[in-house]
Amino acid sequence: MRLLRALLRGAAPGSIPQQVDFYSRFSPSPLSMKQFLDFGSENACEKTSFMFLRQELPVRLANIMKEISLLPDNLLRTPSVQLVQSWYVQSLQEILDFKDKSSEDSGAIHRFTDTVIKIRNRHNDVIPTMAQGVIEYKESFGIDPVTSQNVQYFLDRFYMSRISIRMLLNQHSLLFGGKINPAHPKHIGSIDPSCNVVEVIRDGYESAKRLCDLYYMSSPEFILEELNAKSPGQPMQVVYVPSHLYHMVFELFKNAMRATMEHNADRCIYPPIHVHVTLGNEDLTVKMSDRGGGVPMRKIDRLFNYMYSTAPRPHVETSRATPLAGFGYGLPISRLYAQYFQGDLKLYSLEGYGTDAVIYIKALSTESIERLPVYNKAAWKHYKANHEADDWCVPSSEPKDMTTFRKYSLWFRRWIFFFLNISIIVLKSLLAHWLK
């Protein structure tokens, strides 16, 4: 219906803002893991992929570009956000250059694949650049709770959109870019049709352990328990993007290790990190439990805020080494990776003891469907609506002093009584005077 309405309104006119308006009227089309696989297996066809992407990429880009334009003016004006915006404009323009090319033009299809690779590389640094923009804005203008909520809402959607656009770019460039990955010949682009979850978890642990050893000269052990409830005795496998799973477990291991090392620094005995992996009929679940002292419940939601970190901010310019912590992006981005294919990432904490971080992944490829933001009235309202007062009482740390309250209310009543009496006496004497 949106498509029809957009077409009825006429062809997309020339300028980029008009193109953004035009393409943002279409909803992105979420693909399932199964569709990604079908697309990339036997009948992998560059022409079909070209025709799909030259429509879908502008739609996904335009949808999120509309939301960028709703950010507060002062944030939009920061050099970093301007730079990110210019990358989006340039990439949209480059894809639109293929709008009128014939699908039989093999030269154009070939050039399109090169363009896809160029766009993917151009957008490599979107996350740190956008993060820099938010820091610049915060430092210059401060941030009130409403803006902070809007920025959080925006960043979740913006980064999710980026993950999805990158997935499409990666699939096309890996399938048709001419190079077969010799290490993983069975992968369909970035997807492993039989992703060995335990292997990825071990890789994530080893990388985090190397960092932890570097920073703390030691690291906690790791104990793995696996239960394949779906096919007992078989290895735990799902259709998934191993790099996404690796990203999540690597971030969770880094957090668990840092908490374990800091919390047990006095005793110098570091309790191991326990990982339980379970494959059921619907979910594949990875639970990582540490004994790093946990987080108070009050702070759990805050941990998913971009920029929230209890670690000192690392200096990116001085060293290119990966820091263990400090940007505050580990948890929120990992949760987006989990949610991208309809899973989730949650944190449960026992303050004083430790934390359980749980990753949920859909076990069936037919249920792993992209979760994509769409620009519509509901999204627009999020940025524009005035945030009204909460409909729950704000608890006060100081209980109301009812004795003072009563004392003042008694004084108030006495004064009213006094004035009423005076007024009656004055009225009575006036009446008596007139009636004389």
Query: What are the residue numbers of the active site?
Result: 247, 251, 254-255
Please tell me what DSSP assigns to residue 395.
P
- Choosing from 67, 192, 290, 370, the residue that interacts with ligand ADP (CB under 6 A) is 290
Minimum distance, C-beta of residue 361 to ligand ADP, in the bound complex (Å):
19
Identity of the residue, 187 or 254, whose beta carbon is nearer to Mg ion in the bound complex: 254
Q: How far apart are CA 322 and CA 49, in angstroms?
A: 35
The answer to whether residues 103 and 45 touch, using CB atoms and an 8 Å cutoff, is no
Site for ligand ADP in 212-251 (CB under 6 A): 251
Rg (CA), the chain: 29
Q: How far is the CB of 289 from ligand ADP (least distance, A)?
A: 9
Minimum distance between the CB of residue 318 and ligand ADP, rounded to whole angstroms?
17
User: Which span (171-179, 205-213, 306-314, 422-430) binds ligand ADP, by CB under 6 A?
Assistant: 306-314
311 binds, among ligand ADP, Mg ion, none (CB under 5 to 8 A by kind): ligand ADP
- Cβ closest to Mg ion, residue 169 vs residue 324: 324
Please select the residue that binds ligand ADP; options are 59, 256, 359, 372, rule is CB under 6 A.
256
Indicate whether 328 belongs to the interface with ligand ADP (CB under 6 A). Answer: yes
Query: Which H helix or E strand runs over 276?
Result: strand 273-279
Cβ distance to Mg ion smaller for residue 330 or 332 = 330
Q: Is 309 in the site for ligand ADP (CB under 6 A)?
A: yes
Q: Are 211 and 322 in contact (CB under 8 A)?
A: yes
The region, left, alpha or beta by phi > 0 then psi within -120 to 50, assigned to residue 36 is alpha
- Tell me which of Mg ion, ligand ADP, none is bound by residue 174, counting a contact when its beta carbon lies within the kind-specific cut-off of 5 to 8 angstroms: none
What is d(CA 238, CA 426) in angstroms, rounded to the nearest whole number?
91
Nearer to Mg ion, 189 or 330 (CB): 330
For ligand ADP, the binding residue among 87, 215, 216, 327 (CB under 6 A) is 327
Complete DSSP assignment for 309-377: -SSPPP-TTT--SPPSS-SS-HHHHHHHHHHHTT-EEEEEEETTTEEEEEEEEESSTTT-B------SH
Question: Would you say 192 or 251 has its CB closer to ligand ADP?
Answer: 251
Q: CA 7, 10, 15, 17 torsion: positive or negative?
A: negative
- Looking at the Cβ atoms of 174 and 324, the one nearer to Mg ion is 324
Tell me which stretch binds ligand ADP (CB under 6 A): 60-68, 112-120, 215-223, 290-298. Answer: 290-298
CA distance 63 to 26: 8
Residues β-bridged to residue 350: 354
CA distance 318 to 77: 27
Binds Mg ion (CB under 5 A): choice among 28, 40, 189, 330? 330
Three-state SS for 267?
coil
Tell me the CA end-to-end span of the chain in Å, nearest whole number: 86
Based on the shown chain and the rule CB under 6 A, indicate whether residue 326 belongs to the binding site for ligand ADP: yes
Q: Site for Mg ion (CB under 5 A): which residue of 32, 255, 260, 349?
A: 255
202, 313, 342, 418, 422 from 430: Cα distances, Å: 96, 78, 81, 19, 12
The residue nearest ligand ADP at its CB is 330
User: Could you say which of 330, 341, 360, 365 contacts ligand ADP (CB under 6 A)?
Assistant: 330
- CA-based nearest residue to 246, from 184, 321, 157: 184
Which of 164, 355, 365, 368: binder of ligand ADP (CB under 6 A)?
355
Distance CA 291, CA 260 (A): 6
| Contact map string, positions 383 to 402, toward ligand ADP, x by CB under 6 A | --------------------
Asked if 308 interacts with ligand ADP (CB under 6 A), we say: yes
Q: Is 271 in the site for ligand ADP (CB under 6 A)?
A: no
Q: Are 68 and 158 in contact (CB under 8 A)?
A: yes
Q: Which of 256, 325, 336, 363 binds Mg ion (CB under 5 A)?
A: 325
Interaction partner, residue 215 (Mg ion, ligand ADP, none; CB < 5-8 Å by kind): none
- Which residues are at the interface with ligand ADP (CB under 6 A)? 251, 255-256, 259, 290, 292, 295, 303, 308-311, 325-328, 330-331, 355
- Which residues are at the interface with Mg ion (CB under 5 A)? 254-255, 325, 330
